[in-house]
Structure 1
Amino acid sequence: MFRFPVNSIRNSIFIRLVLTYLSVILPILALGVYLYHWSAKNAREEISRATTTQLSYYMEDLNREIEWLEIQQYDLVQDNELNQLAVAWEKMNGVERTAGMNYLIQRLTSIKNSSPYIKDVYVHLHSIRKTVSAAHDVYEFQQGSFDDLLASLGKEKTRLITWQQTFHLRASKASGEAGGKPLFIVQIVLDAERLKESMKQLNSYEESGSFVMDDRSSFAIASDPGSSEMMRQSAALARSSSASAFRLELDGKEYQFNKVSSAKLGLTGFIYMPAETVAKPLSKFEVWAWLFAAATLMTILIYAYSTYRFVHKPLLLLVQSFRRMEGGALDSPIEHEQKDEFGYLYHRFNHMLKKLQMLIDQDFKQKLMMQKAELKQLQSQINPHFLYNSFFILNSLARTGDTDRIEQFTNMLGEYFRFITRSGADLVPLAEETRHSRMYTEIQELRFSRRIAVEFGELPETMRTISVPRLIIQPIIENAYEHSLEKVTEEGLLRVSFEREEDEARIVVENNGEPIGESLLEELRRRLDSSSDSYEMTGMINIHRRILLTYGEGSGLSLSRSELGGLKVAIRIRLKETV
């Protein structure tokens, strides 16, 4: 699972590198997709244009062929021999009739052979009740065919008519009588099979087809006889749209249609092919496009994995090591075998840890030595006033001859000076430190027994074995006498109490001496909290720093205004790691 050494994923170098790579590769991929679709569109349009052009040529050729047949038909209508047969048949003898018929048959055969699209040529001679055909010679007059052709001449003004599953050309010779039937009708029958064969040349693609459809009757001739449904639907769509190309779905398969209309013939030509055939020339390009997309995706994954392994993961290890160092773990170097830039960073980080550990050890030792020196200096700074007053008390007791109290006082005075001047361990049990402080107050009681009362609380059993630096209570009591209680004119009170909580022990020294102002109290607190050496190293600051150095953050002296009226000093000792 990915882990990020930052609070926000978007600020991660790994994410930024991957996004930068994606911002470069995705436009290239998008360009490839665009080129593919653009090429596919152009290919479809090119195939459509080529198909439309081919179909246009076919329709033009068909129109020229029909025009040629119409010329032949017109010449036949104007033929003198044919007109003579139609008008003078009754006046001709047998030889003339036979010669005329033979000539007409030869003429019809000549017209039929002039074009591959002609299936047969008929002349329906109404005046002599004969029908002559290039394929069937002379036979009885086809009254039904004559009537149908005559009807089409009156209704439709088109060049081609659809009749009997094919296209026909027809022309007539008027009789000259008002309202009379024509002398004859010339009928040219187009060969549907030959038209189908000619349209197969338009089928350039697999599964493609073509057909020609009459614009009025929707009759069509197709190259594929099985495309009737396709012709029906395409005819309906062609009538509703003027587009030369459209698509139509039949039986779940999509087809591309191209159409060309000939107004001269009244016909529309269609070519159709499966839509997939249009895209077939791009099949190889599509394969390469998918290969390119797959290669791009693989490249993205490889780049992301490489970035994670060679950049993100080593960076995460370095960040985690820094966090351990911030937590105080200076004995956790980075184990590695890398030879790259991160290997150099790891090496310098490990070197920094060693250097930092060495500097901390040096600083700690220097501070410890300094505290010892300060303690020795404090021990040597015996208050001369206390010493003078002690001699005066001893002198007074000697004058009164109170040898018992002299013995008691000298013993207390000896124990007092022995405790503050002895060398040895810097930490002593709190019970011993408390006994020394109580002895100091008893000495002071001999001096101020009438003016200053002392309330010295009992030390709880749970606090007796706590190890504390020497001389942390007595100097505070001495400070209370010297700076506060000695100046009171009324009865003074010194109170020493002990408090214990789960993780903290407190020794509280307070008095009812001279009231302390808020500004002075803030100044004393600021001096205690200051880590600089700009202030004079007083006894109270010395005690605060020694306790803080021994027990860590949260320990030290806490100053406040006592309920008794004077200064209240609380010695706080954190017990989590020191009991």
Structure 2
Amino acid sequence: MKIFRKTQRRMTILPKLIIAFLLVVAPIYGIGLWMNQLGEKSVREELSKSLQSRVDFYLSSLEAGNEQLSGLLQQYAMDKDIQHAAFISNTMSIGTWTETVQRIQDKLQQIKYSSLYIKNVSAHILTLKRTISSNETISDTINPDYEAVASVAKLRGVGNYYWKDRLFMAVAYPGSDLPNMKETFALSIEINQETMKQSLQNFTDYKNAGAMLVNPENGWSLGNQADEGLTKELSDYLKSRPKDSADEGYKQISAGNSSYLVAYKRSAAFGYYLIAYVPSAEMLGPIYKYRLLLWLLSFVSLVFIVAYSYWLYQLIRKPLHRMITGFRKVEAGMMDPIPMPKSRDEFHYLFQRFNMMTNNLKVLIQEVYEQKLRAQTSELKQLQSQINPHFLYNTYFILYRLAKMHDNDSVIRFSQHLGEYFQYITRNGSDDVPLDAEIKHSRSYVEIQSIRFAKSRITVDFSELPEGYGDMRVPRLILQPFIENAYQYGLETKRRDGRIAVKMIELEGQLLISVEDNGERLTNDDLQQLEANLEKQRADMEYTGMLNVHRRLQIRFGAEYGVSVDRSEMGGLKATLRLPMPQSSGKPTELEDTVDAKGV
């Protein structure tokens, strides 16, 4: 029963209502959260693709420009004026030489002005050990810039060179890489890095965004160098990428306390990467605001759920708890009315009807309890009247046997004890007697039985009654029937060493009186039958002997008291009487006083 009650308390109406509310709200909130994350992911991908598209377009423009410059260099590598200056300058007149140099410089300037990204164009004529450039006239020696592109003579086609933080493109006269071929001349273009840097700074419209050209192999980079940590992170990332990975993509990279969305692509022709980066807060700022609003919505929803739960508690749970408390009090026998709620709802009606019910129950219980006491008193008298003839039958049989054996002394003593025995029964009309008197009467019964059985055959041991229990009022004849059963059913066939032990102990606020024997006739089936009879107590049973005592004790003290049986440690039956403390046994209830006053 306790397990069932605990199970009932696990899930009350209030948690069910809150769970039902959450089951309705949670899917809607979950779908909203999923839609927000899906939208954030979609926007992030679209922005990343847009940034990647810009990188593709800008890199394609750079490569197209570089291809154009490469074409111009290769075209002018075959220019007749440059070849004349390199091969037959010593046969030219001063005027022809001057005109040739001027035409070469004009052509170099045309190359320079063909692109904003060209800073200077030079023709290094190695046969003359002189340099003609677009910015200066012919020099007396080879320009030191030739050192940057000197290795181009060993290369067929255009080469790209990074030298002293400067970027060059160069081409040598065709055939310079052949064996035994002397170096003749080389054309070089110096890239205007400042112009490219400004162009990269205007790559995106976002604040703190930018782009850069990075060659992780030689450490060259061009672009906004405001965040060296970002440049290092990007370079390390590009270096650590597997060689077989894609040459373009986008990624989110953290540098310091900031996070950047990065798109990159590698130029297969020139070997460097074009990298565009935008702070995540700038590109995804609106999404972060929506996320903040979503968290705000979550907090507001939580506050609303708490407020809703508290409102339900006040509206339903609290009145229900008060009503359940009232019902539990009714179960415990307290018929106190419940204070009426202030609200005029269904609970007001239920509380009103509950109080009316408790008032009616008080009247009904008063009437039923009075009738029950009258019935119990009548039943008690009937049960006691049953036990007296039962014992009388046994004593007459004993007296008959003694007289038949012509044992006159035993007949005299037996008649004397028998007279005292019936004097105890008929001395007054009270149904209750002190426990001391009941024990003394049982001892007299033992004396009667000792006449029947020799002391060497059956011995009876009585323990001392605990202090304070002598004056306790108990029903008459509750101990003697168990001693009688021990004689009659346990030890009657035992010829010697029969033992009966009567023990009286106080345990957990109760008095336990046990009667046990060392009989050998008790079987497990008999013990189970006794336990079943004591537990069920059918209405059609004849209450004699042990059942009689059990029934009378329960009528007198309550269902938790009475008789229990078990196998004795000595081998026979052990019957235990469970009695309350004297404080609870000798005080009649108020209702009993009322019934007695009415003459029941």
TM-score range normalised by the length of the shorter chain: 0.5 to 0.7
Aligned position for 2:480: none
Gaps of 5+ in 2: 383-427, 439-467, 478-503, 514-527, 565-576, 587-600
Aligned position for 1:193: 194
Give 1:201 deviation, angstroms.
Answer: 2.0
Aligned position for 1:492: none
Answer whether contact 2:119 2:191 (CA < 8 A) is retained. Answer: yes
Q: Does 1:298 align with 2:306?
A: no
Secondary structure class of the residue paired with 1:105: helix
Aligned mates of 2:194, 2:107 — CA distance in 1: 24
Amino acid at match of 2:340: H
Aligned position for 1:383: none
Q: Name the CA shift for 1:142/1:232 in 2 (closer, same or farther; >3 Å).
A: farther
Rg larger for? 1
Q: Does 1:57 align with 2:52?
A: no
Answer whether contact 1:212 1:268 (CA < 8 A) is retained. Answer: yes
- The aligned runs of 1:442-453 (5 Å cut-off) are none
Aligned mates of 1:331, 1:59 — CA distance in 2: 92
- The aligned runs of 1:264-343 (5 Å cut-off) are 264-326=269-331, 328-337=332-341, 338-343=343-348
Secondary structure class of the residue paired with 1:7: helix
Secondary structure class of the residue paired with 1:307: helix
Aligned mates of 1:205, 1:551 — CA distance in 2: 92
Q: Name the CA shift for 1:554/1:303 in 2 (closer, same or farther; >3 Å).
A: closer
Aligned position for 2:206: 205
Per mean C-alpha deviation after superposition, the further-off stretch among 342-351 and 55-64 is 342-351
Amino acid at match of 1:217: N
Per mean C-alpha deviation after superposition, the further-off stretch among 528-537 and 188-197 is 528-537
Aligned mates of 2:585, 2:239 — CA distance in 1: 101
Secondary structure class of the residue paired with 2:198: helix
Amino acid at match of 1:198: S
Aligned position for 2:121: 121
Amino acid at match of 1:267: Y
Give 1:94 deviation, angstroms.
Answer: 2.4
Identity %: 23
Aligned position for 1:490: none
Answer whether contact 2:206 2:283 (CA < 8 A) is retained. Answer: no
Aligned mates of 1:268, 1:340 — CA distance in 2: 76
Per mean C-alpha deviation after superposition, the further-off stretch among 285-294 and 343-352 is 343-352
Give 1:300 deviation, angstroms.
Answer: 3.0
Aligned mates of 2:124, 2:469 — CA distance in 1: 143
Answer whether contact 2:202 2:210 (CA < 8 A) is retained. Answer: no
Aligned mates of 2:275, 2:530 — CA distance in 1: 106
Amino acid at match of 2:94: G
Aligned mates of 2:253, 2:550 — CA distance in 1: 95
Give 1:65 deviation, angstroms.
Answer: 0.8
Per mean C-alpha deviation after superposition, the further-off stretch among 112-121 and 131-140 is 131-140
Q: Name the CA shift for 1:317/1:188 in 2 (closer, same or farther; >3 Å).
A: same
Give 1:533 deviation, angstroms.
Answer: 7.9
RMSD: 5.8
Aligned position for 1:131: 131
Answer whether contact 1:247 1:256 (CA < 8 A) is retained. Answer: yes
Q: Does 1:81 align with 2:81?
A: yes
Answer whether contact 2:152 2:171 (CA < 8 A) is retained. Answer: no
Gaps of 5+ in 1: 378-418, 421-425, 435-461, 474-499, 507-521, 559-570
Q: Name the CA shift for 1:20/1:371 in 2 (closer, same or farther; >3 Å).
A: closer
Aligned mates of 2:531, 2:191 — CA distance in 1: 122
Aligned position for 1:153: 153
Aligned position for 2:91: 91
Per mean C-alpha deviation after superposition, the further-off stretch among 298-307 and 528-537 is 528-537
Give 1:287 deviation, angstroms.
Answer: 1.4
Amino acid at match of 2:367: Q
Give 1:119 deviation, angstroms.
Answer: 0.9
Cα deviations by residue, 1:526-579 (Å, 9 ceiling, x for unpaired): 9999999879999xx999999977876589999xxxxxxxxxxxx999764674
Answer whether contact 1:118 1:189 (CA < 8 A) is retained. Answer: yes
Aligned position for 1:258: 263
Answer whether contact 1:126 1:141 (CA < 8 A) is retained. Answer: no
Per mean C-alpha deviation after superposition, the further-off stretch among 287-296 and 527-536 is 527-536
Aligned position for 2:11: 12
Aligned position for 1:442: none
Answer whether contact 2:52 2:264 (CA < 8 A) is retained. Answer: yes
Q: How many residues align?
A: 485
Give 1:124 deviation, angstroms.
Answer: 1.7
Answer whether contact 2:206 2:282 (CA < 8 A) is retained. Answer: yes
Cα deviations by residue, 1:50-87 (Å, 9 ceiling, x for unpaired): 22211111110011111222222233223333333333
Aligned position for 2:361: 356
Q: Name the CA shift for 1:329/1:103 in 2 (closer, same or farther; >3 Å).
A: same
Amino acid at match of 1:43: V
Secondary structure class of the residue paired with 2:57: helix
Aligned position for 1:481: none
Secondary structure class of the residue paired with 1:138: coil
Answer whether contact 1:551 1:578 (CA < 8 A) is retained. Answer: yes
TM-score w.r.t. structure 2 length?
Answer: 0.62
Aligned position for 1:346: 351
Aligned mates of 1:551, 1:355 — CA distance in 2: 27
Aligned mates of 2:316, 2:142 — CA distance in 1: 98
